[in-house]
Each structure stands twice: as C-alpha cells, then as structure tokens.
Amino acid sequence: MPFSDSYARPIEYLRVSVTDRCNLRCRYCMPEEGIQPIAHDTVLRYEEIVRIVRVAVSMGLIHVRLTGGEPLVRRGIVDLVAQLAAIPGLEDLSMTTNGMWLERYAGELAQAGLGRINLSLDTLRSERFHDITRLGNLEQVLRGREAALKAGLRPVKVNTVVVRGMNDDEIVDLARLTLLPDWHVRFIEIMPLGTGEHWTENGVVTVAEIRARVEAGLGSLVSVPNETGVGPARYYQLPGAAGTLGFISPVSEHFCHACNRLRLTSDGHLLPCLMSNHSIDLRTPLRAGASDAELQIIFERAILAKPRGHHLAEHQLPECLLPMSTIGG
C-alpha cells in the first residue's frame, strides 16, 4: 500500500537520476558548452541507489524510472539495472534515454530486467536533429529504437518536446507515425527548466493546439486507456492506428492533482516537486549510517512536503530551478 501525501495522493513512482552527464546538448536543456558537472564524490554509488530503491519499494513506490542526464553514459548501468530488477516488490522498471547508445545496450538491458524504454526524439529531420541536439545523429537513435523493440523493451514511447519555431511544424508528421505498428508518440509542452535558450511564453505550444493540429491533419482522436506506466499522459488513437498518441500538459492543463511521484537526484536529494528547488538530503544520512527505518522517515518527510500544485498556467514562474540534467526530468 503506497504512502499518501498531505492531499491524499498515493505516491508510488520514483524517478532516479543516475548521472547529470549527457552526451547531447539540446538547445532547450543546456548551453552548448554544457553545465558544470556534479562533483564525482557526491554522486550516488550504485549500491546506494539500490538501497534507496529497496527502501522506497518497501513504502509502496513500486514504479521506478532511470533517467539522467543520459543514463547510458554512466559506466556499469546494466549492472545497476540487474540489481534493481532483483528487488522484491518492484513491479515496473523503465528508462528514459536519448537513444544515442541504445543500439549498443538494448539487448543487455532487456536481459538484465529492464521492462521498457522512453525515447527522446524531437524531430524526424536529420539536419534539424543535429541542430537541436548539437551533437546527435538521428539515424543512430532510430537504430537504437529498433534494437530496443527487437530486444523486447516494449513499448518504446517517443517523447517529443514541442517548441514553437523549433519543431512545431512536424506535429502532424510525428503523429502520423502512430498509424504504423510499435509507434507511440507523446507530445510534451516545454517547461521553464534547464539553462537552454527556448523557454519563453511564446515558445509554449499548448496541448490543446497540438491536438487541434493533429485532428485537422489526420482526423478525430479517440481516447484510449493507458495500459503501461503510471505517468501523466492522456492517450488517444487516430482512426485505424496501430500505435497511440499521448499528450502531456505540465503548463496549460497541469496534472498536479494526480501527481504520484518523487524524484531522486544523482547527488542524493529527494525532490517532492519538479517545479521547486525544495529538496531533502538523503545522501548525508545514508553515508552517516542511517538505518532503513530512518531512511523511511526521510521518504515520509519528502512525500508530506509535496505541494498542492504549481502556477505556471497563471504565468507565475517557479523559483530558480536546478538544471533538468541534474533533476532527471
């Protein structure tokens, strides 16, 4: 039975950032030169992550997603997946990746016990992909997607951050992919996070506008249930489609009332809310010899510290936030 927060929301989902390092420099996430990395000795060791997740699972956080930065750049990531997958009671283990190294690791990740993959992909145009990511190769990412499907890491959900003037002219093209088997595309409103160059109010393309463009170009959408995962997306299908379309609206139609998650940063802090700098230090007591019972109390504090919601829709930007690569999304 999951522990509930002060607003009776059951908290059952933990996002774990395993590194703040990334092999891309996406324009809306960070500057071209990157950001100052976290000191090596402050990054959680794998045995620490495993222990924290074990404690979290004992409290009902039974869905775990590994994030970064880019999780596949951290050495030994397959071993971590195997250790986490072996935790009794953990029902769902997934990963979000930019896909650059997915072709190399997909088979090993599946054998280690990873269940499924979310793949960040903001364009279908090779030159634009390189321009957005500064270092990326679209064909390499698409090969990684195919490798994940072949390995059984299903579904592979494609996450597309839509930014006006950057890639919003591809909304219909991306949605059309879901007419094909194994294509599940999720459109996400850009949020005021990271140190990139694209957060302005004019950059936001709302989910309502995205959906209107899809329906104008491809036909009416039909609501379908979310069969996998416990995230905030609402899912639909085009007529005759084999795949699904998801819409995630953190700005225009926020889903705070149903938020079920905590985030663990790569340096060992629990974040009750993505839209706040408020964090609770888990690394210091962990390394000081805290018992599992004491760690559970820290988790309870983090859960009870979750706010009711944010105010982005009222154009109230949050306090200065950590970079997305540090938070882990």
CATH number at residue 123: 3.20.20.70
Give me the number of domains the chain comprises: 1
329: pLDDT strictly greater than 60: no
Q: What is the pLDDT of residues 197-224, one digit of tens each?
A: 555 567 889 999 999 999 999 999 999 9
Cβ 8 vs Cβ 15: under 8 Å:
no
Instruction: Identify which of 196, 303, 313 has the alpha carbon closest to the alpha carbon of residue 250.
Output: 313
Q: Is the pTM of this model over 0.75?
A: yes
Measure the CA–CA gap between 205 and 218, rounded to whole angstroms. Answer: 18
| Whole-Å CA distances, 75 to 8, 83, 113, 329 | 39, 14, 17, 20
Instruction: Identify which of 147, 156, 149 has the alpha carbon closest to the alpha carbon of residue 228.
Output: 156
pLDDT of residue 319: 52
Which residue type, as a one-letter code, is found at position 169?
D
Cβ 205 vs Cβ 164: under 8 Å:
yes
pLDDT of residue 200: 55
Measure the CA–CA gap between 317 and 301, rounded to whole angstroms. Answer: 25
Would you place residue 320 in the very low, low, confident or very high pLDDT band (cuts 50, 70, 90)? very low
314: pLDDT strictly greater than 60: no
Question: ∠ CA(10), CA(13), CA(15), 5° rounding?
Answer: 145
Mean predicted confidence (pLDDT) in 31-37? 79
315: pLDDT strictly greater than 60: no
pLDDT of residue 325: 55
Structural domain harbouring 245: 3-327
44: pLDDT strictly greater than 50: yes
Pick the more confident residue, 309 or 296.
Answer: 296
241: pLDDT strictly greater than 50: yes
Residue-averaged pLDDT of the chain: 90
| Whole-Å CA distances, 74 to 18, 66, 302 | 7, 11, 27
